[in-house]
Structure 1
Amino acid sequence: MSRTIIYGTPGSTYTWSAQIALVEKKIPHELVEVAFGAHLQPPHRERHPFAKVPVLDHDGFVLYETQAILRYIDQLVPSPPLQPSDPRDAARMNQAIGILDAYFWRAAGPGVVGQRLFAVMRGLAPDEAVVQAAVPVVRTALSELDRFLGDRQFLAGDRLTMADIMVLPIVRYLLLTPEASLFDPHPRLRAWCERMSSRDSVRETEPQLARKG
C-alpha cells in the first residue's frame, strides 16, 4: 500500500499548501510534525539540507521545495489538474508563484505575520519598523494578485491551480492582522479568499493558527 508523509511545522504556510494539494488529489497522507527548532537538527537536515519545511516522502521518494512537491503530485495523479493547459494561464500561474516566493511571502511572512502573530505568541512586542518596511511590498503584491484575478474565479484561469494553493495560506494569515486593511481596495481578492477557504481541502487541513478567534 502506498504511503505518503509530509514532514512539516503546524502553521507553516508552505506545509499547508502541500496538504491542500494532497487533499485536492485525494491522496491520503500523514503529517509528521517538525516542531519549530527541530527543523535545524540533524534528523530533519537529512531530509532537507537547507532546514526548511515541508518535505514529502512518497513510498521512500523524498522531495523538498513546495513547488516541486505540488508539480510531482500533479503528475502523479493527473486529475484534477493543478496546472493550466493554456500557455497564458500557465504563465500567469508561474508568475503568481514567483511573486509569492520572491517578494510576497518574505514581506508578509517574517515582516507582518511574524511580528503581528508569532512574536506576540512568544510574548514579544511587534517590531513596528519591520512591519512598516514590509507593508509597501505587501501592498504591491496584493494589487498584482488582484489584477491577475480580475473577474475570474481563480488567480490563473477558471479553475484551481497551484497559484491559488500556494498564495492562499499567507493571505489567510494576513487577514488576521491589523494589516488586513490592505485588502480594502481589493474586494475581489477577499471574495477569492472566502471561496478558497470554503473548499474541503482547505477546511480539512486548516491549522489552528489560521482560525479566527
Structure 2
Amino acid sequence: MSRTILYGTPGSTYVWSAQIALAEKKIPYEFAEVAFGAHREMPHLGRHPFAKVPAFDHDGFVLYETQAILRYLDQVVPTPPLQPSDPREAARMNQTVGIVDAYFWRAAGPGIVGQRLFAPMRGLAPDEAAVAAAVPVVRTSLAELDRLLGERQFLASDQLTFADIMVLPIVRYLQLTPEASLLEPHPRLRAWSERLSARESVRKTEPLLARKR
C-alpha cells in the first residue's frame, strides 16, 4: 500500500498549500508535525537541507519545495488536474506562483503576518519597521493579483490551479492583521478568498491560527 507523509509546521502557508492540494486530490497522507525550531535540526535537515517546510515522502521518494511537491502530485494523481492545459493559462499560473515566491510571501509572510501574528505568540513585540517596509510590496502584489484575477472565478484559469492554492493561505493570514485594510481596494480578490475558503479542501485543512476570530 502506498504511503504518503507530509512533514510540516502547523500554520505554515506553504504547508497549508500542500495540504490543500492533497485534499483536492483526495490523497490519504500522514501529517508529521515539525515543531518550530526543529526544522533547523536533524532529522528534518536530512529531508530539507535548507531548513524549510514542507518536506514530502511518497513511498520513500523524498521531495522538498512546495512547487515541486504540487507538480509531482499532479502527475502521479492527475485527477482533478491542478495545472491548465492551455499554454497561456499555464504561463499565467507560473507567473502568479513566481509572484508568491519572489515578492508576496517574502513581504506578507515574515514582514506582516510574522510580526502581527507569530511574534506575539513567542512573546515578542512586532517590528513596526519590518511591517512598514513590507507594506509597499504587499500593496503592489495585491493590486497585481487583483488585475490578473479580473472577472474570473480563479486566478489563472476557469479551474482551481496552483496559483490559487499558493496565494490563498497568504491572503487568509493577511486578513487577520490590521494590514487587511490593504485588501479594501480589491473587492474581487476578497470575494475570491471567500469562495475558495468555502471549498472542502480548504475548510478541512484550515490551521487554527488562520480561522476568523
Same fold (TM over 0.5): yes
- Summarize the alignment of residues 39-54 of structure 1 with structure 2, pairs less than 5 Å apart: 39-54=39-54
Give the letter aligned to residue 57 of structure 2. Answer: D
Partner of 1:58: 58
Unaligned runs of 5+ in 1: none
- Alpha-carbon distance in structure 2 between the residues aligned to 1:30 and 1:156: 30
Partner of 2:102: 102
- Summarize the alignment of residues 9-28 of structure 1 with structure 2, pairs less than 5 Å apart: 9-28=9-28
- Alpha-carbon distance in structure 2 between the residues aligned to 1:202 and 1:55: 20
Matched, 1:183 2:186: no
Percent of pairs with identical residues: 81
- Summarize the alignment of residues 110-121 of structure 1 with structure 2, pairs less than 5 Å apart: 110-121=110-121
- Alpha-carbon distance in structure 2 between the residues aligned to 1:125 and 1:59: 43
Give the letter aligned to residue 125 of structure 1. Answer: A
Residue 164 of structure 1, CA deviation = 0.3
- What TM-score does the superposition give when structure 1 sets the normalisation length? 0.99
Residue 36 of structure 1, CA deviation = 0.4
3-state SS of paired residue (1:212)? coil
Q: Residues 97-126 of structure 1: CA distance to partner in whole angstroms, max 9, x if unpaired?
A: 000000100000000001111111122211
Residue 134 of structure 1, CA deviation = 0.3
Give the letter aligned to residue 2 of structure 2. Answer: S
Partner of 1:161: 161
Q: CA RMSD in A?
A: 0.6
Partner of 2:92: 92
Partner of 1:128: 128
Structure 1 consecutive aligned stretches of length 4 or more whose deviation exceeds 3 Å: none
- What TM-score does the superposition give when structure 2 sets the normalisation length? 0.99
- Alpha-carbon distance in structure 2 between the residues aligned to 1:182 and 1:39: 31
Give the letter aligned to residue 127 of structure 2. Answer: D
Partner of 1:170: 170
- Alpha-carbon distance in structure 1 between the residues aligned to 2:122 and 2:57: 31
Give the letter aligned to residue 203 of structure 1. Answer: R
Partner of 1:73: 73
